Chains A and B, each alone.
Chain A
Amino acid sequence: MIARRGVLLGALALPVIARAQGFAGAYAPAAIAIGEGIWLVPGADEALEPSNGGAIANSVIMASDAGAIVVDSGPSLGFGKALAALAEQLTGKAPARVYITHLHPDHSFGSAAFARAEIHSLPATRTDLERDGAGFSDAMYRLLQGWMAGTELILPQPAAADGVVTFGGRRLRLMALSGHSAGDLAILDEASGTLIAGDLVFHNRAPTTPHADLPAWHAALARLAATPHRQCVPGHGPLDRGSTAIAQTGDWLRWLEDSLREAVGSGLDMAEAANLPIPARFADMAMARYELTRSVSHLYPRFEAELLPRIDG
């Protein structure tokens, strides 16, 4: 499917920020070995910006006998190509399997670089991308311009489901979850004990909520917390070896919901809610004010509709 720069319907999941420059640099993704045959490719803890080419989400590379396994293909064709080359260089084999954790374009738009691999996602993620892909493409081209050159959205096969998959001798436990979006795939790499959480987990970087279902998200976090693992790769932010990122994500989401409901209860409007004080325990969280502002836009009308009483009866 070619992602057309069409008319945008419905809620846009990308913030509109400063105007993009025409200039595009070269991607240079770097890998950190985090276990036997597994590498983290960290994204910048920033917003989508021309300065980072949209490379803000974490990707993971794993070695297998059947070829490299990649989790999340990144924001663009250019990034995907650099990631594929890195995977081949690290594992000695070209990528053969790609998992897309969820719909958001910082995770899903590099797939065209993996033409010879099977690209899998949860069925809900494919449905989400069929609906929102053209709108994302429009926003990504506008924001990142030259970085997006040649990028076409490749829809993943809806082949991922709850259960254990053995690919090239590597055992992966797939978990079909939701809450950050309608379909959130988490993957436990059994050999290294690495939980690859996608955007269900953020670490020292404020969570994003454009498609959030908060109760479902908390339920997903509970399942991740109950899944024994040695370390967790969040969708954004550094590797978590101290078992803090899952709780931190839940803490932020609970604070966010409570604060916004209280703000509606005390008569504040959106702009005032976006200026609420952020607790000291989130002081080290990157992008906190920025994501609070975005979340007010996503969630506030919902809480107003729920809490403000009808007065026309």
Chain B
Amino acid sequence: MIRSLLSLALGASALATPAAALAEPLPADPLGSPMWEYHAGKLFAGAPVVFDPRVMVALPMLTENQHVMPVTVDARALNEVKRIVIFADLNPIPVAVEYTPLAAHAFIATRIKLDQRTPVRAAVLTADGVWHVAGGWVDAAGGGCSAPPVSRVRGDWADHLGELRGAVWQGADAIRVRMSLRHPMDTGLVENIPAYNLEQLTVSDAHGTPLARLVVHGSVSEDPVFTLMLAPAAKGELAVSGRDTGGLEFGGRLLPTSGTRIAAAVAR
């Protein structure tokens, strides 16, 4: 009790202090992860950290496929979100995505590989320098990161490499963007297959102004898929550009009517 009061007091004082100026004691991990302090030390580098229920991390009720585990982070209840980091404590490649929503809502959905039972978390940095963290344990059998991608086993990965799909749905409060890329996302943990993954993805407006920027790591699933929500100002055509660790560049254009067209195509 004394400890938590103390950290509350420190937290309050930190709000009035430049974020990186003093190292704070980490709050105790509600998930009891053996790797919490290690990862928190590296990721937050002494900045203030709070476990915050306003960060919603949606994880499935069961892990049907540990190569493709959906995770959705919705931190729209927080103001001025600067960055969202998705990580799994016990993965060999813990960080999956670092998202910078430049002109976008604090929302991202993607799919990650799990190597074993692990906490899966989102850490959300707000403009005041505070990291807001939430997450949960997810069960998984071995082999998500250390098993070869399906397309490597099939042998057709190179035939489809770089194929980019996507669409945009116009809403009153947000423009929803979905993008998928054919890519093996090799982790480097499978024998004889070096690491090879998408590492950057940016959505820009028609003038080339970046609206959303992603740094992507090898623990994101093969054929990565991302769902973002841009601020409603981004009404026109959008550009998607990306690069992988082999230096290969990907690009495409998202038309504003694309989502409406798919919706009409599947309407019953």
- The answer to whether A binds B is yes
Contact for A8 among B147, B162, B240, CB less than 8 A:
B147
Using a CB-CB cutoff of 8 Å, which residues 258-301 of chain A contact chain B?
A: 258, 261-262, 264-267, 269-272, 274, 289-290, 293-294, 296-298, 301
Q: Is A165 an interface residue (CB 8 A)?
A: no
Contact for A9 among B58, B65, B148, B162, CB less than 8 A:
B148
Are the CB atoms of A12 and B66 closer together than 8 Å?
yes
A265 vs B59: C-alpha distance in the bound complex, in angstroms? 22
Q: Is A68 an interface residue (CB 8 A)?
A: no
Contacts of A294 in B (CB 8 A): 62, 64
Q: Is A88 an interface residue (CB 8 A)?
A: no
Using a CB-CB cutoff of 8 Å, which residues 251-268 of chain B contact chain A?
A: 251-254, 258-259, 261-268
- What does DSSP make chain B's interface, helix, strand, loop or mixed? mixed
Q: Is A118 an interface residue (CB 8 A)?
A: no
Contact for B227 among A138, A269, A289, A298, CB less than 8 A:
A269
Q: Is B70 an interface residue (CB 8 A)?
A: yes
Given contacts A10-B153, A301-B68, A311-B254, contact A269 B265 (CB under 8 A): no
Q: Is A11 an interface residue (CB 8 A)?
A: yes
Interface string of B142-172 (1 = CB under 8 A from A): 1100011010010000000011111101000
A261 vs B265: C-alpha distance in the bound complex, in angstroms? 10
Contacts of A311 in B (CB 8 A): 164-167, 179, 240, 252-254, 258
Q: Is A1 an interface residue (CB 8 A)?
A: no
Are the CB atoms of A9 and B268 closer together than 8 Å?
no
Residue among A9, A267, A313 facing the most chain B CB atoms (10 A cut-off): A267
Are the CB atoms of B180 and A17 closer together than 8 Å?
no
Are the CB atoms of A312 and B163 closer together than 8 Å?
yes
Contacts of A261 in B (CB 8 A): 266
Min C-beta distance of B228 to chain A, whole Å: 10
A267 vs B67: C-alpha distance in the bound complex, in angstroms? 22
Contact for A265 among B65, B253, B265, CB less than 8 A:
B265
Are the CB atoms of A18 and B139 closer together than 8 Å?
yes
A160 vs B89: C-alpha distance in the bound complex, in angstroms? 49
Are the CB atoms of B252 and A15 closer together than 8 Å?
no
Q: How many residues of A contact B (CB 8 A)?
A: 45
Min C-beta distance of B70 to chain A, whole Å: 4
Contacts of B165 in A (CB 8 A): 304-305, 308-311
Q: Is B71 an interface residue (CB 8 A)?
A: yes
A262 vs B263: C-alpha distance in the bound complex, in angstroms? 7
Min C-beta distance of A247 to chain B, whole Å: 19
Contacts of A313 in B (CB 8 A): 252
Q: Is A26 an interface residue (CB 8 A)?
A: no
A266 vs B268: C-alpha distance in the bound complex, in angstroms? 13
The closest CB in chain A to the CB of B70 belongs to A270
Are the CB atoms of A12 and B141 closer together than 8 Å?
yes
A79 vs B67: C-alpha distance in the bound complex, in angstroms? 31
Are the CB atoms of B265 and A307 closer together than 8 Å?
yes
Are the CB atoms of B225 and A309 closer together than 8 Å?
no
Are the CB atoms of B150 and A304 closer together than 8 Å?
no
Contacts of A19 in B (CB 8 A): 117, 139
Interface string of B209-253 (1 = CB under 8 A from A): 000000000000001010100000000000010000000001111
Given contacts A19-B117, A310-B163, contact A269 B61 (CB under 8 A): no
Contact for B62 among A10, A15, A308, CB less than 8 A:
A15
Min C-beta distance of B233 to chain A, whole Å: 18
A310 vs B251: C-alpha distance in the bound complex, in angstroms? 11
Are the CB atoms of B61 and A289 closer together than 8 Å?
yes
Q: Please give 7 more A-B residue pairs, beta carbons under 8 A apart, in addition to A17-B62, A298-B64.
A: A9-B147, A16-B63, A266-B263, A269-B227, A274-B60, A290-B62, A308-B262
11 examples of A-B residue contacts, CB within 8 angstroms: A10-B150, A16-B66, A17-B63, A274-B70, A297-B60, A297-B65, A308-B262, A311-B179, A311-B252, A312-B164, A312-B251
